[in-house]
Structure formats: C-alpha cells, structure tokens
Structure 1
Amino acid sequence: MSNDLNKPFRFEGAHFKRWKQKMQFFLTVKKVHSVLTVPRPVIPDNAEQDDLVYWNSEIETWNETDFMCKNYILNGLSDNLYDYYNLENTAKDLWDALQKKYDTEEAGAKKYAVSRYLKFQMTDDKSVEVQSHELQKIAHEIISEGMALDEQFQIAVIIDKLPPSWKDFKNSLRHKTKEFSLESLITRLRIEEESRKQDQKEEVLQLSANNAPKRSAAVLKPAGHMARKCRNMPNPVPQASMIEEPLVAMITEINLIGGSEGWWVDTGATRHVCYDRRMFKTYSENTDDKKVLLGDSHSTNVAGIGKGYATDGMFKLNVEINKISDSAYMLSSSVNIWHARLCHSG
C-alpha cells in the first residue's frame, strides 16, 4: 500500500516534465528503472558452455524487469495514450518515444511561460498576496526550464504589476534604496492588504451610520405653576382676543420630528387666548360685554373673537438642537412666545 502512494498522476498530455520526474522516482522504488539505461544483455560469441546458464539467467531477468517497467509506464498514461504507445517493444523504446514528443512540446511551453510572466497583471478584485504567489509560480516554471531569473528582477516585476489602486504603495516601494528579499516583499504586501481591508470595513460602517435614518424625539413637560408666580410673565396688555370662552389650553408634551429647523407644536386646544390679532385666521369685533381674567388677577375686555391661529392650531417654537448629543432645548425667547401666545390659566 505504501508503494502505491508513490505512483504519479495519470499523464494526459500536459505537464510532462513533472510527470516524468514522478515516474522515474516510482520506477526506482519498484527497482525496474535500470532497463531504461542498461541495454538488454547479449550472449558473447565466445562464451563457453558453462557460461551460457549465467547469460540466459541475465537475459531472463532483464526481460522480466523490462516487462514490469514498460507496464508501469503504460499504466501511468491515459487510456488514449496507452492504446497509442502500447505497440512499443521495450520500456526504453516507450520512454524515448514519450520524451521525443512531449519534451519538444514543452520547449514551446517554456516560451509560453515567459509570455505569461510578462503579460501578467494584478487586478483589484482578487487578493494581491494570492496573485503574487501566482506570479511566483510562473517564475519558477521559467527557472525550472533552465532560464535564470534574478531575485531583485522578480521583486521589481511584482511591484510593477500591482493593481492600479496600489499606485501610492507601489511608488513608495520603488523609492526604497535598500534591497529586500522576495519573502520580505510578500510580507509587506500582506500587511498592506490587511490594513486596506480594515480601512474599508471602517468606511462601510461609517457610511452606514451616516445613511441611517435619524429618529430623534424629545418631550417637553412644562412644570405647572400659577400665573401670578411666573417669572417670565410679559407685560400685561390692555385687551385680548378670545375664541368664544375665556379658556386657555396648556401644552403638556410635544414631539420633535427630525429634519425640521424648529418645532411645530399641536396644542390640541379648542380655545385660545392671544394678544396679537394677526394670529387669527378669522376675526370679528366683540359686541358683547365679555371679559377675561389675566395673570395679575385683574380682568380686561375682549376685543374680538376669531377661529384658529393662522396655522390651524399649530405654532412654531424656536428650538436649537445639540448636534453632538442629539438633545434639544428651547431658546429663552421661546418662553416669551409661549406666554405671549397662550397666556396662563388663572
């Protein structure tokens, strides 16, 4: 079983040099390789009768070895090649025929390897380290054919064939004054490639974070207090406009919707008090003797009655948003607007 592990791959017409070396090793292990170099024994003309037994034994041994060697070689060929070369008389004839055909063909393959080496170009869609190893394999093919390739020449070729996105790194390597080995170059390429992969991951995460929909919400719940205790009470005005009844709505919470320059607040109130007539969509002078109680505990006349703010029950608070922590707060001037538009419930 251990000898079978030494058996070469089945030759189908490609990579003859590799197969040839493997087959020679296999024939040597089987102790039949000698028939490829030692010709068949011939009985000398002047051999004595006593020597004939020795020579006949040598010829028989050689024939048996040749038979084994020939069939080992044939079994290493594909079926088509087996049928073609089976007609050869001896193992050496078979071996010589294979070398004559495929050694000549691989001489042309040598030129093809050189052409592949010169035309090889790395791309951005494959690992640079893997492509460097592929280029080195082609270089080894050329060297195995007897053509010398200087190590520094191979280094210069690998650097020159780096993909376009590696232009800056390529230039930095070209400007190195100290020579380095192939192993050192491959290590540098591996480190650079890992660094680029990490940078790409960070860019993707950053881009995902930037493109993620921003959902920010804040709730403002003004602390309840009596109107007479308010520190931000505006100066009392002599008149106020009212919608039907002297009832003021108080905002309990508001929601911030991202993407707006300020906050639009829906009070949900059905009746409002306001000192500014322009805030009403419809307005009519008050003909009844109606009054409204103000925050300083005195009353004033109702100048007119209207329906809705100019924004249909919505008004805008000036809000600044903290860009760092996504928190929100009201401008100080917004408090005055709050009081001016909604007043207080007494």
Structure 2
Amino acid sequence: MILHDLHAEGMKLSKSFQVATMIEKLPPLWKDFKNYLKHKRKEMGLEDLIVRLRIEEDNRLSEMKFGKLQIEAKANLMEQNGNTKRKRVDYKPIKGRAKMIKGNCYNCGKPNHMAKDCRLPKKNQAHVSEVRCVPIDLGELNLSTVVFEASLVDNPREWWIDTDATRHICSDKEMFSTYTPINGRKLFMGNSATSNIVGLVNVVLKMTSGKELTLIDVLHVPDIHKNLVFGSQLVKSGFRLVFESNKFVLTKNNHFIGK
C-alpha cells in the first residue's frame, strides 16, 4: 500500500526497487521460490516477475490438485482391497462413505451426497449456471496478480472480463450472495501495489437473457473499483467466450447464457 500511495503522489520508484518489494511481500510458504527470485532480481523487470509469479502459482495449484487425486486413488485402492475379503459382493451404498463427502449437493442443497447421485429432479441448467473454482487453501496461497488499471474509479456494478486475472474479484457488497471473512491476505497488482482481501464470496450475475451466472469463491477487495471475471476460469468450466463487434457473448453447451 505504501508503493501505491507513493505512485498516487506522482513519485517515481525504480523498477529494481519495485521488484525487490514484491519479492519481499511473498508469503512464508513461498520461501524457496522467494530465495530463487532474490538471486535473479537484477535480471528481471517488473513484467518478468509477474509472469514468473503466475507460472509458479499455476504450478502450485496443479501440484495441490494432483496430490488430492493421489490421496483419493489410495483411498479407493484400500477400500477395494478390503472388499476382496468378503465372500459376498454387496452393491448397496456403504453408510460410512457418505461421511467422506464434504459440502452440500448442488442440486438440492442437502448434505451427504453429490449432485450426480441426487434423487430429486435435476435443476434446469439452462437457467442456472455455476462457475466452480479449484478449492484453494488460502493459508497456502495469498497471491493474486491483476492489472493496475483495475484500481481506477469506475461503475462498481459493472463487470470486466480479464483473461490475465488469477481470480474473480468484486468490491460491491450488495452483489454478494454468501460471505466468508478473511484476514491477512493480500492482492498483488501489476504496479507493485497491494490491496487487502477481506472476504471470500459468491456472486450471482443477472445476464441479459434473464438467466443467472453464479461465480464461486470470488475475492472481496474493497479497494478495487472494477469487478473482474477470471475469463480463463469460465473456459475451464465449459463456457465459450466470444468477443465480436465490441460485444461479449457467453454460451455453454451451445446454450446462450447472456451478453
């Protein structure tokens, strides 16, 4: 925030100083990568550093996801080995297995089962669409990088598609459908400025078609005046983004969602 205030006062800082400041702001669990960057900082510009940080964050997310898959595979293997000792094959649901499912069903909202196993009629997905992010341990990752222009004053209820952002970001409390407070997390911006992340929220967007788009795990950053949609996350969730004639069109499975 000090760098941001200095920039606002018109004071210019050297690129090397900005790079060193961003490196020092990295979280404790990034210690090894932080030491690596310290040896390379004389060779790096600010843009090079941001690219390296994004690549490192993507790698850490991939490792977390791969580790989770390995744990699930081992659990399934142990369960299968235990079942081979039985004389009789029982295809009925195991009561204890429901305890392994965290969270509620996305179809009916009730716990202890997944949406694909829900007995209630499926919701009309043409009217309700959800974008789910890969679960992130915010104690492990408190790094998100966005362009500095996002801090410029703008309409707080407008949303901007940003393919370079690393998370969905929102500042308008009136748009939140759920809210989980967060302390001690920072948002890093392209000009070395930082902003506080104070909450993790869900946001329901009303599309021009009348349909709703729910953004999951959106970062609440009060200092940001442009709400950002993480475009790459939409693509990963099966949405198709089309930019033409100064318009943005969103579809999924050949169904028009909105523009």
For the pair shown, the structure with the greater C-alpha radius of gyration is 1
Q: More relative contact order in 1 or in 2 (CA 8 Å, sep 6+)?
A: 2
**So what's the TM-score if we normalise by structure 2?**
0.30
Higher helix residue share: 1
